């Protein structure tokens, strides 16, 4: 009975199914003390402020087992339940609803909204499929509980796809024939270049000498302000300069850049070379040449850099924004045997092409259409309010007068519970536009869950707020100008955007993804101070939110002989693969060697082969 079904499924999805796989990872989350006495959250035992890299193909499934070992009983009074509980959000990944009515929202990782918080000494599985429709892009994952991500509960999440690979090769072919002058590159050749593209991930962040959990105490004290002083910066978790060696024959480098920070916008410049932007937050873009890239907290970019064979090294100049100016670091791309040179001593402000505003007219998607005029328009005003001190004993941010915790009930929104405030209801399956207005003089990076959005308009600083019923305002004039300019074009599409002080941004999306979604400032301290709202989309109430916590214990191995037609394949000394006919994967508890940090198990891929019509299990790396 099962076999004919599998055969039918395999034939129907021959190509897709045969190349997709289930990847199993385990994340052991614990608390450690650094040599300087700073409390950090460690992932799989590593002492780094940045966790592992998870790498998947669009269409793969990820089963991630999260073991919460942050606190023991005696730690609860010290750190509080908020910091001892945990959750994981996959930043930017828009998960599709699955057959059988399973909501993608269930794995968005927001405690109180899409799931119950994972309590201490308990485990939780995040099982979901990365949509096959994704073009491939750069994402990250991080805790959505308290300020845990700043203490280390964050890592990189890369989605690969053949569409992305082919596109990058075509852009390289264009750069190869036409050079790197100009701005927008048009008329890409049909055939991609066969030249090797060397890839590096650059995760940038601000840095503080105290742990986030200690800073939070100050921020949330009666006199605590929302912006603790940025004291340093990191690249890939490292406070030092980082050297990226590149082989002698490499001519093209793809930099996948992510701001995994708590607060500061970062800028990057590769001295003497130009940057060709090809991705904004998981969306492939028309290649656009710039000299200096500005990255808000939560944003991602891919840039292609052409390095001449004669270039023996190039300085990567990295500025991490703080209240006044930058923390400046120098990193290097170097050829074999070449000593990196000296550090950059210049002024960040004199870097060519430095532009910290959102370049929403430049970085446009390579595909798609402008969404039609919205059926619903919403204005949100946000400001820092000190008179909320009564309830919270500290100054808090409010959006249209409400602060984020008021939206979050004791239960879980998806179960139908409500907080003090009802979520903002969106018109289901309609195009919605939200004007986010800064009644505040600072720049804030706003991130939306559950969608990428089209950036219709972003004001300059001091344009003031945008109200749809006030056509004469500076903001409204700029907005109408932009709307006209988009005729026949596609606006920048992404999930995170910097909104200048005393100004606005207008985002547009189709409210076609049922769930409760956060729209919030991604500054870790501002989230703690309530800067965000919850949007309600579609009929998202589900009968039972996944809340299957298990006591954290080494996973059991089921006897391989129980499974029918079981094959076991060892992919590498640190990885093991167990395959069984029901496509279930069992974790193996025996770690092979202490070097093993991430346990990866690949599941059976069912393929039909030849005329023999045999059932075939096909493990893939
Ligand atoms: C911690 O998690 C438990 C279990 O989900 C939940 O009951 C409790 O309210 C959470 N505490 C906080 C402060 O989120
Ligand atoms: C692209 O590649 C194909 C196959 O190698 C070749 O037949 C074709 O002529 C190429 N097209 C161009 C425009 O170079
Ligand atoms: C919005 O999504 C709904 C549901 O998928 C779809 O029916 C509708 O056509 C979409 N609207 C636009 C303008 O794309
Ligand atoms: C998640 O995946 C794991 C490993 O494949 C499996 O044991 C578990 O039952 C799955 N949980 C859910 C809720 O699907
Ligand atoms: C997580 O911890 C368990 C229990 O100590 C251990 O068996 C497992 O190998 C660890 N996993 C990783 C990925 O470090
Ligand atoms: Cu903010």
- Percent of the chain scoring above 90 in pLDDT: 76
Ligand 5 binding pocket includes 28 (Cβ within 6 Å): yes
The DSSP H or E segment spanning 218 is: helix 212-219
Identify the nearest ligand to the CA of 427 by its number.
3
pLDDT at 418: 86
Q: Determine the average pLDDT of the residues in 333-354.
A: 94
- Give the nearest ligand 4 atom to 546 CA: 13
Confidence check: pLDDT of 99 > 90: no
At residue 320 the predicted structure's pLDDT band, cuts being 50, 70 and 90, is very high
User: What is residue 81's DSSP assignment?
Assistant: H
Please tell me the least confidently modeled range out of 338-347, 365-374, 476-485, 601-610: 601-610
Domains for the chain: give ranges and CATH numbers. Answer: 19-160 (2.60.40.420), 161-356 (2.60.40.420), 376-544 (2.60.40.420)
- Residue 585: CB within 6 Å of ligand 4? yes
Q: Tens of pLDDT along 167-191?
A: 999 999 999 999 999 999 999 999 9
* Interval 267-291 mean pLDDT: 98
pLDDT over 50 at 10, yes or no: no
Q: How far is the CA of 582 from the centre of ligand 5 (A)?
A: 25
Contact assessment for residue 467 and residue 379, using Cβ atoms and an 8 Å cutoff: yes
Q: For residue 591, is pLDDT > 50? A: no
Ligand 3 nearest-atom number relative to CA 510: 1
Which is higher by pLDDT, 602 or 399?
A: 399
CB of 144 within 6 A of ligand 1: the answer is: no
Q: Is the pLDDT of residue 450 over 90?
A: yes
Cβ–Cβ < 8 Å for 37, 20: no
pLDDT(615) > 60: no
**Is 295 within 8 Å of 321 (Cβ atoms)?**
no
Closest residue by CA, ligand 1 atom 14: 82
- Dump the DSSP string for 351-398: STT---S--TTTS-BSS--PPPSPSEEEEEEEEEEGGGHHHHSS-EEE
**Residue-level pLDDT at 8:** 40
> By alpha-carbon position, which residue is closest to atom 8 of ligand 2?
191
pLDDT band at 483; cut points 50, 70, 90:
very high
pLDDT at 4 over 80: no
Residue 18: the pLDDT is 56
Q: Which atom of ligand 2 has the smallest separation from the CA of 191? A: 1
Residue 30's Cβ-count burial label (10 Å; 0-12, 13-18, 19+) is middle
Residue of higher predicted confidence among 51 and 611: 51
Q: Averaged over 105-120, what is the pLDDT?
A: 93
Q: Helix, strand or coil for residue 33?
A: strand
The mean of the pLDDT values for the chain is 86
CA distance 147 to 216: 7
The residue contributing the CA closest to ligand 5 atom 10 is: 28
pLDDT for 575: 28
Write the DSSP string, 247-294.
Answer: -TT--EEEEEEEE--SS--EEEEETT--EEEEEETTEEEEEEEESEEE
**In 386-438, beta strands by DSSP E:** 396-399, 424-425, 431-438
pLDDT score, position 415: 84
Q: Which two tokens stand for residue 436?
A: 């986010």
Over 70: is that where the pLDDT of 533 sits? yes
pLDDT (0 to 100) of residue 11: 41
In short, whether 368's Cβ falls inside 6 Å of ligand 5 is no
The verdict on the CB of residue 554 being under 6 Å from ligand 3 is no
Closest ligand to Cα 405: 1
Label residue 545 by pLDDT band (50, 70, 90).
Answer: low
The mean pLDDT of 124-139, rounded to a whole number, is 95
3-state DSSP assignment of residue 404? helix
Q: What's the 126 CA to ligand 4 centre distance in angstroms?
A: 8
What per-residue confidence (pLDDT) applies to 544?
53
Indicate the pLDDT class of residue 388, thresholds 50, 70 and 90. confident
CB 603 within 8 A of CB 17: no
- Segment 549-563 shows an average pLDDT of 49
Residues in Cβ contact with 537 at an 8 Å cutoff, skipping those fewer than 6 apart: 426, 428, 450, 511, 512, 513, 514, 515, 516, 517
Which residue from 28, 20, 22 is spatially nearest to 596, judged by alpha carbons? 28
Work out the average pLDDT over 255-271: 97
Reported as a single tens digit per residue, the pLDDT across 289-315 is 999 999 999 999 999 999 988 889 999
Of the listed ranges 150-164, 333-347, 536-550, the one predicted with least confidence: 536-550
Whether the pLDDT of residue 552 is over 80: the answer is no
Q: What is the pLDDT at residue 540?
A: 66
HSE-CB of 150 using CA atoms within 13 angstroms: 31
The average pLDDT across 260-280 equals: 97
Best CA proximity match to 232, nearest among 156, 349, 318: 318
Q: CA angle, corner 594, sides to 591 and 600, nearest 5?
A: 45
Query: What SS3 class is residue 3?
Result: helix
| 389 — pLDDT class (breaks 50, 70, 90) | confident
Please report which confidence band the pLDDT of residue 578 belongs to, taking 50, 70 and 90 as the band edges: very low
Which residue's C-alpha comes closest to atom 10 of ligand 1?
117
> Across the strands, what pairs with 382?
399, 438
DSSP SS3 for 104: helix
Q: Is residue 21's pLDDT more than 80?
A: yes
Nearest to 38, CA basis, from 209, 190, 251: 209
Instruction: Report the separation in Å between the CA atom of 509 and the middle of ligand 3, taken as the mean of its atom positions.
Output: 10
């Amino acid at each position: 009975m099962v076999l004919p079904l599998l055969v039918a499924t395999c034939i129907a999805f021959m190509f897709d199914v045969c190349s997709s796989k289930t990847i199993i990872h385990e994340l052991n989350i614990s608390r450690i003390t650094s040599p300087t006495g700073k409390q950090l959250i460690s992932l799989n035992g590593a002492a780094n402020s940045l966790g592992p890299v998870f790498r998947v193909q669009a269409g793969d499934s990820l089963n991630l087992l999260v073991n919460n070992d942050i606190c023991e009983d005696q730690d609860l009074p010290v750190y509080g339940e908020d910091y001892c509980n945990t959750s994981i959000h996959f930043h930017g990944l828009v998960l599709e609803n699955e057959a059988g009515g399973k909501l993608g929202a269930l794995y968005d990782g927001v405690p109180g909204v899409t799931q119950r918080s994972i309590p201490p000494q308990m485990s939780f599985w995040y099982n979901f499929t990365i949509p096959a429709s994704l073009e491939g892009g750069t994402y990250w994952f991080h805790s959505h509980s308290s300020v845990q991500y700043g203490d280390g509960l964050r890592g990189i999440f890369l989605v690969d796809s053949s569409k992305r690979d082919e596109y990058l090769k075509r852009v390289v072919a264009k750069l190869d024939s036409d050079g790197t002058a100009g701005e927008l590159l048009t008329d890409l050749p049909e055939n991609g270049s066969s030249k090797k593209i060397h890839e590096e991930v650059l995760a940038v962040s601000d840095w503080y000498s105290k742990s986030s959990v200690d800073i939070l105490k100050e921020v949330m004290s009666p006199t605590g302000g929302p912006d603790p002083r940025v004291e340093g910066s990191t690249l890939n978790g490292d406070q030092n300069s980082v050297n990226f060696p590149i082989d002698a024959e490499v001519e093209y480098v793809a930099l996948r850049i992510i701001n995994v920070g708590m607060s500061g916008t970062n800028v990057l410049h590769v001295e003497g070379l130009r940057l060709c932007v090809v991705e904004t937050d998981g969306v492939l873009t028309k290649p656009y040449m710039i000299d200096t890239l500005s990255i808000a907290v939560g944003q991602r970019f891919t840039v292609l850099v052409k390095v001449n064979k004669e270039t023996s090294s190039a300085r990567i100049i990295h500025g991490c924004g703080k209240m006044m100016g930058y923390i400046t670091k120098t990193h290097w791309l170097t050829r074999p045997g070449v000593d990196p040179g000296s550090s950059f001593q210049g002024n960040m402000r004199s870097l060519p092409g430095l532009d910290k505003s959102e370049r929403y007219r430049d970085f446009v998607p390579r595909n798609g259409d402008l969404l039609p005029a919205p059926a619903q328009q919403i204005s949100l005003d946000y400001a820092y309010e000190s008179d909320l001190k009564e309830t919270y004993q500290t100054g808090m941010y409010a959006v249209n007068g409400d602060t984020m915790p008021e939206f979050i009930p004791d239960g879980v929104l998806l179960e139908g519970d409500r907080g003090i405030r009802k979520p903002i209801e969106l018109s289901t399956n309609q195009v919605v536009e939200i004007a986010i207005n800064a009644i505040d003089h600072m720049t804030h990076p706003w991130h939306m869950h559950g969608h990428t959005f089209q950036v219709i308009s972003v004001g300059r600083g001091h344009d003031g707020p945008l109200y749809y019923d006030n056509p004469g305002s500076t903001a409204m004039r700029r907005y109408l100008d932009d709307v006209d300019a988009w005729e026949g074009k596609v606006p920048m599409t992404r999930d995170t955007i910097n909104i200048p002080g005393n100004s606005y941004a207008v985002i547009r999306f189709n409210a076609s993804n049922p769930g409760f979604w956060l729209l919030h400032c991604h500054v870790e301290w501002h989230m703690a101070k309530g800067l965000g709202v919850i949007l309600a989309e579609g009929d998202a109430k589900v009968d039972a939110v996944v809340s299957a916590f298990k006591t954290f214990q080494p996973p059991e191995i089921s006897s391989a002989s129980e499974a029918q037609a079981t094959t076991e394949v060892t992919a590498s000394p640190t990885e093991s693969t167990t395959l069984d006919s029901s496509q279930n994967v069992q974790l193996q508890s025996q770690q092979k060697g202490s070097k093993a940090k991430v346990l990866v198990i690949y599941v059976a891929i069912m393929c039909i082969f030849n005329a023999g019509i045999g059932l075939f299990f096909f493990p893939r790396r």
